[in-house]
Structure 1
Amino acid sequence: MSSLHAWEQAAAAACVPLAVKGVNRPVIEGSISSGSIGQVNLSAVSAGQHVAEHDRRAVGMTEGDYVLACLQLRGTGELTQDSRSAVVGPREFVFFDSTRPFKWILQSQFEQIVVRFPRSLISNRFPIDSALFVARSIPALTGVGRLVADYLITLAGEREQIGSSASASRISETAVDLLGGLVSEVMQCQSMPRSNLHEMHLRQIHHHLATNFHRPELNAETIAAELGISIRYAHRLFDEQPKSLGKTIFEYRLEKAAAWLRDPVFRSRSVEQIACSAGFKSAAHFSRAFRHRFETTPRAFRVER
């Protein structure tokens, strides 16, 4: 058990400076253990429900320019950065950036592995602006995600022995290569960065979706009209994204609904009410889509979680 101040000190050493708030308690039950392998720092974090914020003051206190990756092992958390939020469950990755504010809402007892590395390590290999991939949940149950997750779990467990080995630097670079490859896989990145205008419009669309997804009438056409861009251009912006604009809207609603279903705060709300709040026009349509996406019914999903 740690005081909030002690937890903030441990988090700053292992991750970045954070302002921590407990939920109904002035202490946090948990532990942070970390170690370095080359230029990569790996931390195993286990704790209870709390909120951790890297606000503008904390950004100014951060010594170094880091990209961070979190592999959630148990429990659920929500990371918000750049007006985008990602709900992260077991065996899912999320990236975040030390140079801009972010906020973690850890909703229950959780375990995670946090990897911190200098931005230069990944920017030299993969020329992708971090604003494009932070606060996006990335599954790690199959394919490249599983490969990277298994590698990091092994590294975290053996970090003391590996950290003192002659191969530490090479092993840490392999970890960054794998994380960069995961980002490339998800973003389908090109060899050259996107234009600033292209990037700006993508951010506008994601922000608009995050604040308006609850509206059933929201679709590609209404987003384009409300942002003052053509529908054809709106669709073209997503040509290099993992999913089309329409699919992105649909998936965002499903992910929000799933997060609410497993959040005790929303336990009193019916499945129909959650479906409506997430922007679905009917409970039947929501149930079909949810079953197709998560391979279970909304009610079963709520009980399982």
Structure 2
Amino acid sequence: MMASALHKSIESASGREFAGLARNLFGNVRLEFGAADEKRSRMVSAMLGACRLTRLEVDRHIVFGEHATAGPDDPDSIKLLVQTEGDACLDQGGLHAPISADALVIYDPSRPYMLTNSTPVRQLLLQLPRHALPHAAIERLTRPFTAHAEYDGMCRILLSLMDSTMHEIGHLDAARRSSVGQTMVDLVRTMIGADLQQARPIANPLDLLLQRIKIFIESELARPDLSVTMIARRMGCSVRYIYRAFEVECLTPSDYIWDLRLQKAAARLRDAGGYAGEISGIAFALGFSSSAHFSRAFRHRYGLSPSQWRKARIS
């Protein structure tokens, strides 16, 4: 039972399914194989707490990331790519960054990029939540950050840890994966922010995550399908980390969403005409599935129906 549960948390794809899973895990990317053999493509991916680690074996191809984080379902994470075999280069922000064996590149996929894999490649891709890195480090990623294991000890350690983790991933439970993921985050923070040690203390990463979640929720409040899973995907972390971020609020993420919807509905009703059509419009604009659902939730929250609230002009 335990082994079965562990393997269920690992995602994999090969051949024609490769591109679909790539878009699902990495955002709105476009892959072009040209005359290469797409059927030779394979990937294995797993969450490591707030991070995602993926092993890819792919024939030569090009990845276009013009709109990698364009939609609310696209993961908003910083990417770290380790090249273990083959040759590739990343073009972003006017920088042409060659990637060779035992080299890594860290880049911000929210900025347009093109990754050209000119030979068949073996790669390890680590996705780190944006909030896991110092703000000053994120600001630097207008252009890719590169390192090579031959010259950088941290790069060697990280490469070895990522490689060994992929070999053992099927034997690690959630707690151990989370611990390994945090170690990788710490290594990356040290690599990219070594000269930031004298900077002012960085805010609690969970506080930063909570701020970003709240901004995202407010921007997507009209979506009836807004869910914790969608939020986790957009933030590039696990559902468990979303719940951890909300512990300080003493609310679940879902409770926060519905409470925010009702607060906004109450505010809009003050300026509404109060007739059924307008009240229904407010309900649907805030993600409620029906007028009846809205009325029940509103009465439970405020002790009055939406129309009674409007007439009473309660502030």
Distance 1:191 1:17, change over 3 A: farther
Amino acid at match of 2:146: S
Tell me if the contact between 1:92 and 1:140 (Cα under 8 Å) persists in the aligned partners: yes
Where does residue 147 of structure 1 map in the other structure?
157
Where does residue 22 of structure 2 map in the other structure?
11
Amino acid at match of 2:167: G
Separation in 1 of the partners of 2:84 and 2:180?
22
- Return the match for 2:145 from 136, 152, 160: 136
The structural deviation recorded for 1:132 is 3.8
Identity %: 17
Where does residue 95 of structure 2 map in the other structure?
84
- Return the match for 1:2 from 4, 7, 15: 15
TM-score of the aligned structures, taking structure 2 as reference length = 0.54
Where does residue 283 of structure 1 map in the other structure?
none
Separation in 1 of the partners of 2:130 and 2:54?
18
Distance 1:88 1:25, change over 3 A: closer
Separation in 1 of the partners of 2:175 and 2:37?
43
The structural deviation recorded for 1:141 is 2.6
Amino acid at match of 1:175: M
Where does residue 45 of structure 1 map in the other structure?
56
- Return the match for 2:76 from 65, 85, 94: 65
Amino acid at match of 2:118: Q
Where does residue 104 of structure 1 map in the other structure?
115
Distance 1:120 1:190, change over 3 A: same
Where does residue 170 of structure 2 map in the other structure?
160
- Return the match for 1:121 from 94, 119, 132: 132
Amino acid at match of 1:182: M
Separation in 1 of the partners of 2:198 and 2:107?
22
| SS across alignment from 2:18 | helix
The structural deviation recorded for 1:133 is 7.1
The structural deviation recorded for 1:80 is 1.4
Dislocated runs of 4+, deviation >6 Å: none
The structural deviation recorded for 1:28 is 4.7
Distance 1:63 1:117, change over 3 A: same
Amino acid at match of 1:168: R
The structural deviation recorded for 1:100 is 1.6
Where does residue 262 of structure 2 map in the other structure?
none
| SS across alignment from 1:153 | helix
Where does residue 229 of structure 2 map in the other structure?
none
Amino acid at match of 2:168: E
Alignment of 1:145-224 (within 5 A): 145-162=155-172, 164-185=173-194, 188-189=195-196, 191-192=198-199
Unaligned runs of 5+ residues in structure 2 are: 1-13, 201-315
| SS across alignment from 2:64 | strand
Unaligned runs of 5+ residues in structure 1 are: 194-305
Separation in 1 of the partners of 2:181 and 2:18?
26
Amino acid at match of 1:179: V
Relative contact order (C-alpha < 8 Å, sep 6+): which is higher? 2
Where does residue 34 of structure 1 map in the other structure?
45
Give deviations 1:12-61, integer Å, cap 9, x for gaps: 233333111113247352201111111111100011111111113x4313
Tell me if the contact between 2:59 and 2:121 (Cα under 8 Å) persists in the aligned partners: yes
Separation in 1 of the partners of 2:123 and 2:37?
22
Separation in 1 of the partners of 2:37 and 2:160?
35
Tell me if the contact between 2:108 and 2:141 (Cα under 8 Å) persists in the aligned partners: no
Distance 1:28 1:94, change over 3 A: farther
Amino acid at match of 1:156: M
Tell me if the contact between 2:49 and 2:174 (Cα under 8 Å) persists in the aligned partners: no
Separation in 2 of the partners of 1:157 and 1:25?
27
| SS across alignment from 1:24 | coil
Aligned residues: 185
Tell me if the contact between 2:15 and 2:40 (Cα under 8 Å) persists in the aligned partners: yes
Tell me if the contact between 1:59 and 1:101 (Cα under 8 Å) persists in the aligned partners: no
Tell me if the contact between 2:83 and 2:124 (Cα under 8 Å) persists in the aligned partners: yes
Separation in 1 of the partners of 2:181 and 2:114?
27
Amino acid at match of 1:34: S
Task: Name the Cα RMSD after superposition.
Answer: 2.3
The structural deviation recorded for 1:189 is 3.7
Amino acid at match of 1:101: P
Give deviations 1:104-130, integer Å, cap 9, x for gaps: 10010110100012111123xx74234
